[in-house]
Amino acid sequence: MNETVKNIRYLSRDEIDSEKWDRCILEAFNGLIYARSFYLDWMSKNWSALVLNDYEAVMPLTWNRKYGISYLYQPYFTKTLGAFGKSTLPFEISSFLNAIPGKYKYWDIDLNENNFVTSEIKNFRIKQYERTNYFLSLQDGYQQIQLHYKRLANRMKKKATENQLQIIRGEDPAAIIQLYRQGYANRHRSMPGSVYERLKNCTGIAFKNNMAGTYLAQSPSGETLAYYIILQDEKFIYSLLGGSTTAGKKMGAFYFLTDAVIREYAGSKKIFRFEGSDIPGISFFDTLFGPQRISYQHLSMNNLPFPLRLFK
């Protein structure tokens, strides 16, 4: 482990070779779209990285500064990060964590599902928490996948069909983000407006490069009842953002959209990442489509000086 630590370099953003970085993420067995350089550039306020040798494995460090103190945080709409590489073994994860510079006095980050912390970590203040995600294999055809839907999902999908809802694809992601912002403003009051603007730019790039898809559920009269943005790469379909109007909820509109995405990518051999949360209502919805429960680690660490430590 000590030899591994010696070979890990800390690089600022302007020192990172974006081409080598993205190649590492693309070839990594656990690569995620959230770790692509364009995504980090838009969704993180700042980021630097830990790099093993010549980009054999990497770990983005998304950070911000407050009261003159630097800290690591999980950006909005970035489910998990952590370490990525062709052979990201548990001991390497511990080595990466041990290589994080001491100037980051506070951590609040989520590791990806293939990161495990099994070796000793030098910082005794680190706490680990298990969080939940749900994955649905899209290897089988739609008819086979649908057999595992729960009764409620089938009932709501049927209701949407009875109401003659229609799927509209290819809407500008920025328009859907605006719908989401308007519909869920009260729920996300702490989210700065700049996050939505960053997300519009980020999804715009993804959309132009065939890494994002958009879906609307509309009534026969053209009323938008639900909306959805997904991301995609070589391995995964990512549920990024979605919502329903009050009328749409009664008609099963978002069930209809979720099913439409699953139907579209069934047989693709990709994995649908629900990217939900431990909030019971969201978790319950995800389970209705027959996915597998996946756990991942949340890490927190507080080395803030007294009395700031008391307020975090």
Reported as a single tens digit per residue, the pLDDT across 179-219 is 999 998 788 888 999 999 999 999 999 999 999 999 999 99
For 215-230, what is the mean pLDDT?
A: 98
> What does the domain layout of the chain look like in residue ranges?
2-131+296-311, 139-269
The confidence score (pLDDT) of residue 91 equals: 55
Fold exhibited by the domain 139-269: Aminopeptidase (3.40.630)
User: What residues form DSSP beta bridges with 8?
Assistant: 52
For the segment 245-281, what is each residue's pLDDT rounded down to a tens digit?
999 999 999 999 999 999 999 999 999 999 988 888 9
The confidence score (pLDDT) of residue 1 equals: 41
On average, the pLDDT of the chain sits at 93
CA 101 to chain centre: 25
The confidence score (pLDDT) of residue 236 equals: 99
For the segment 120-135, what is each residue's pLDDT rounded down to a tens digit?
777 768 899 999 999 9
For 165-179, what is the mean pLDDT?
A: 98
pTM of the model: 0.94
Q: For the domain covering 2-131+296-311, report its CATH number.
A: 3.40.630
Work out the pLDDT band at 104, boundaries 50, 70, 90. very high
Q: Is 238 exposed, middle or buried (0-12, 13-18, 19+ CB in 10 A)?
A: buried
For 153-177, what is the mean pLDDT?
A: 98
Which of 19-33, 61-75, 82-96 has the weakest average pLDDT?
Answer: 82-96
The label of the residue with tokens 């980090």 reads 40
Tell me the torsion sign for CA atoms 156, 157, 162, 163: positive
The confidence score (pLDDT) of residue 4 equals: 61
Tell me the torsion sign for CA atoms 153, 142, 138, 264: negative
The confidence score (pLDDT) of residue 188 equals: 80
The confidence score (pLDDT) of residue 189 equals: 80
